[in-house]
Every structure is written in C-alpha cells, then in structure tokens.
Amino acid sequence: MQRDILALRLEIMGQQHPDTMLAKSNLARTLSKRGHLDEAEKMQRDILSLSFKILGQRHPDVILEMHNLALTLSDRGQSDESERLQRDVLALQLEILGERHLDTIWAMNNLALTLYDRGQLDEAEKLQRKVMTLRLDILGPRHTHTISAMRNLAGILHDHGQLEEAEKIKRKILALTLEIVGGQHIDTIKAMESLARTLHNRGQLDEAERIWRETLGLRLEILGKMHIDTIATMDSLALTIYSYGQWDEAEKIWKEVLALRLEILGGQHRATIRVMSRIASTLHKRGQLDEAGKIWREILALRLESLGPRHIDTIDTMDSLALTLYGLGRWDEAEKMWREVLTLRLEILGQTHSDTVRAMKNLAVMLYNSRQWVEAEKMWREVFLLQLEIQGQQHPETLNASYDLALALYACGQFEEAAKLLQETVELRVQVFGEDHTHTLMAKKLLKTPSHVNGSAVRLIAL
C-alpha cells in the first residue's frame, strides 16, 4: 500500500513535493522496522539529501530525517555514523529549540542510549541524568517519559557497578508504577524483576528470591507457563537459588526451563543453549562431572555450528569444558583446550582483559599440578605483573597471584626469590585481610615451612 501511494505521488506531484517526500519517509520507516535495512538506508539518504537541498539543515523535517537515518544505521551496526548524526541532531535541537524543549530532551535520550549501547557509560550516564532531571521538572515524576528516563539511568548505573544508586532509583520506579497502573500490570512486573536483578548483584538474595517468586506467580497467572517471559522468570529465579547454593532446586527448575525452551524455541536457540550451560554448571558443582562434560560437549558443538570458533560464547564453553575435564583427571585434554582458549582470548580480547587473565591462571594451575613447574612459574609471573598493572598491589587477585607465583618459584628451587615474594605477600595480606584471615595464615604457614611445596594442588579459578 505504501509503495502504491508513493508511486502515485511521484507520478502526480513529482519527487520534490512535500507529500511525496512524506510518503517516501513513511515507507522508509516501515522498511527499517521490518528489517529491510539496506533499502531503508538508501531511501533515507535520498530523502535527507533532497530535504536538505530544499529546506536547509535547520528545518524540523530535515532534523527528523537525520534522526530516522541514525536509527537505521544503528540497527545496521554502523555505530560511528549513527552516533555522529545523533550528536548533530542534538546540537541543532539545542540551538533552535533550547534545552527544555521536549524534542531536544528526546534527542538527548536517544544519544544517551546509543552511547550506552557502545559502552561509553560515563557520557551516557551524564546525559541520562540530565534527561531525567529535565523530565522530572517539566513533566513530573508520574509521566511515562519521566519513568522511562529513570529506568534508563538505573540500567546504566547497574552496568556501571553503581548498584546502590541503581537500587534506589528502581525502588522509586516500582513505587510509582504500583501507584499508577497497579500490581498486575506488565510494567509493574518488569519493574519488580529489574529491582530483583540489582538486588541479586548486590548479594541481597533473600529479597531477590522473594521478588522472583512473586513475579513468577503473576506471570503464570497472567501469561501462562508456555510464555517466553514466564520461562525467563523461572530461569532468573533458578539463578538466584543457585547463588544460594540450593543446587538441587535450581537444577530442577532449569530442567523444566530447558524442556519448555526445547519445545518452543528449539535446540539451537541461544536461550536454550544458555540454560543447558547452567544445568552443566550445576552438575559440575554437584560433582556429577561425567554428565556435565557430556552437556558441555553438546553445547560446544552447537555453538561451533551456529557462532563459529572465535565467538566469545564458544570460547567460554571451551573454558568450561576444560574445567570439567580437569576435574575428571583428563589433564592432557584439559591443558590442550585451555591453551586454545588462551590463544583465542589473547588474539580477540587482548592480554589485559579479565577473561584472558583468567585463562592464563587456569592454564598456570594446570601446568603446576602436572609438575610442569618452569612453564607454570613463567605464566604465574606474567599473571602477577598483569594483576599489578590492572588492579594494583593490594587487590585480592594480585595477592593471590603473588602467592601462586611464590609456590611455583619454590617448586622450581628458586628459594630466595620465593621467600622474598612470600614475605611481601604476608605483609600485604595482613594489611588487607588482617592477621587471622585464612589467606594470611596460609601464606604465613608456607613461609615457615616451604619444604612441603612439591606440586600439590593449588587454587583453581574458573568462572
């Protein structure tokens, strides 16, 4: 229909008539929403070029077309140009309409979300705070746009690690939503679940579990068991229960989630594979390593097929399978896989990424326990230097790395360097943990009786 309207207007009115340009703009937006991004982008560039020529850069219709093209470019993954266009839109709106105009605030909001998606959290947070402040002042706290701005800011703060402030804002959102739309409205349920996620990350598992159980009851009542949102809530409840150490109940819920997702989404959907990985992790925790290994191999085959060997999820699966193989005593196979994981993470993520450092730690432990002490010492030294650079001398992970390096040095017969490093580790652990902390006492014991170091197992870190 929209194509027919555009064809008629082109024939009768010509390309430059405002009604023709409007029809073309409407068709382009429809194409973009339906995922026909190549055609949408081409059409929007034509409209923008023509509008700019006829109306000039400061005309509202031109600014709108810049905004529409920016959204399409964002959906196509052309983030640099999308961000640049959105900055241009905001600058024009600020100049023409002023900071307090709703269209200007909308442009600020869109740019903040783009920056958030691109990982530019500092600038995104600053912009979103401004959006929230302006909307609170102009529209009031109960307006949907104000609540949306609060929600966006809380999400940025959550991902930025500012969980206390995120929780505070999310509690306000929940109170407002309950007051405005009631307890059974989907917006209220979403607000409850958003708060539960932040509480989970803050370690407030009791309240998080209570909220997840309440929202699951609401979703079962309103949407039914087969709805994907109900299943997602079951998944989240199981994750909180798992964090408690209630692995039996978590596994039971996840197996139900898996059965439902297999039926609704199929075996190759990423949500299905994700819950398979959670079941495998639970089985590993419970010591059922054979069954865990079987599932990890199945997941790895699925991810290799759908994502390829260089995707981060595929590499994470290899890491988890290697850990299970290590637990089964199949050290040669585990070592080979961990070497592959490390190579890929170094290449894709770089040496200082936390996942890369963790891969180095796992391989170092593997080498140490299989009495390949010279190579283990070399890798622990590299880990220790990286931890010093990234997290500083007093960070717990740096102190763990210095202790493990000391173990490897003792095993290699480098007693003088080992003793010096261990003495420094003891002194720092006293400062950080206290005299009677387990980590401090363990380091003191090794310093007093280093002769017992003979390649016995050390701490294995793998998340």
Residue 99's closest CA among 125, 140, 122, 127? 127
Say how far apart CA 297 and CA 269 lie, in whole Å. 16
40-49, 167-176, 182-191, 451-460: range with lowest mean pLDDT: 451-460
pLDDT at 77: 82
CA dist 116 and 128 (Å) reads 10
Residue corresponding to tokens 């709805």:
227
Distances (CA, A) of 135 to 2, 91, 101, 144: 35, 19, 10, 10
State yes or no: pLDDT of 291 exceeds 90: yes
Residue 315 in contact with residue 341, Cβ under 8 Å?
yes
Query: What CATH superfamily is the domain 349-463?
Result: Tetratricopeptide repeat domain (1.25.40.10)
For 3, what's the count of Cα atoms within 13 Å in the CB-facing half-sphere?
Answer: 3
Tokens linked to 325: 């193989």
In sequence order, the 6+-apart residues with CB closer than 8 A to the CB of 74 are 82, 114, 117
What local confidence, expressed as pLDDT, does residue 450 receive? Answer: 61
Q: How confident is the model at residue 451 (pLDDT cuts 50, 70, 90)?
A: low
| Beta-carbon contacts of residue 456 (< 8 Å; ≥ 6 apart) | 369
Burial of 379 per CB tally in 10 Å (0-12, 13-18, 19+): buried
pLDDT at residue number 453 = 52
Task: Select the more confidently predicted residue: 60 or 134.
Answer: 134
pLDDT above 70: residue 461:
no
% of the chain exceeding 90 in pLDDT: 58
Q: Is the pLDDT reported for residue 458 higher than 60?
A: no
pLDDT of residue 457: 40
**Residue labelled with tokens 């929600």:** 151
- State pLDDT tens for residues 305-338: 999 999 999 999 999 999 999 999 999 999 999 9
Q: Based on the number of CB atoms within 10 Å of its own CB, is 179 exposed (0-12), middle (13-18) or buried (19 or more)?
A: exposed
- What pLDDT digit, counting tens, does each position of 211-256 carry? 999 999 999 999 999 999 999 999 999 999 999 889 999 999 999 9
Return the pLDDT at 31.
83
- The percentage of the chain sitting over the pLDDT mark of 70, rounded to a whole number, equals 97
| Residue predicted with more confidence, 354 or 338 | 338
Give the tens place of pLDDT for each residue, 90-119: 999 999 999 999 999 999 999 999 999 888
Task: Identify which of 84, 102, 104 has the alpha carbon closest to the alpha carbon of residue 94.
Answer: 104
Most confident region among 9-23, 251-265, 382-396 by mean pLDDT:
251-265
Range of lowest pLDDT (180-184, 400-404, 430-434): 430-434
368: CB partners within 8 A, 6+ apart: 376, 380, 404, 407, 408, 411, 455, 458
Answer for the pair 108, 129: CB distance below 8 angstroms, yes or no.
no
Tell me the HSE value of 391 on the side-chain side, using a 13 A CA sphere: 17
pLDDT at 197: 96
Q: Write out pLDDT tens, residues 127-150.
A: 999 999 999 999 999 999 999 999
For residue 294, give every residue at least 6 positions away whose Cβ sits within 8 Å of its Cβ, in sequence order, or none: none
CA–CA distance, 105 with 128 (Å, rounded to integer): 10
Q: Which tokens sit at 147?
A: 């609540």
Q: 167, 207 in Cβ contact below 8 A?
A: no
Whether the predicted pLDDT of 290 surpasses 80: yes
Write the DSSP symbol of residue 97: T
Domain ranges of the chain: 287-347, 349-463
Across all residues in the chain, what is the average pLDDT?
90
Specify the range with the lowest mean pLDDT, choosing from 253-267, 314-328, 441-455.
Answer: 441-455
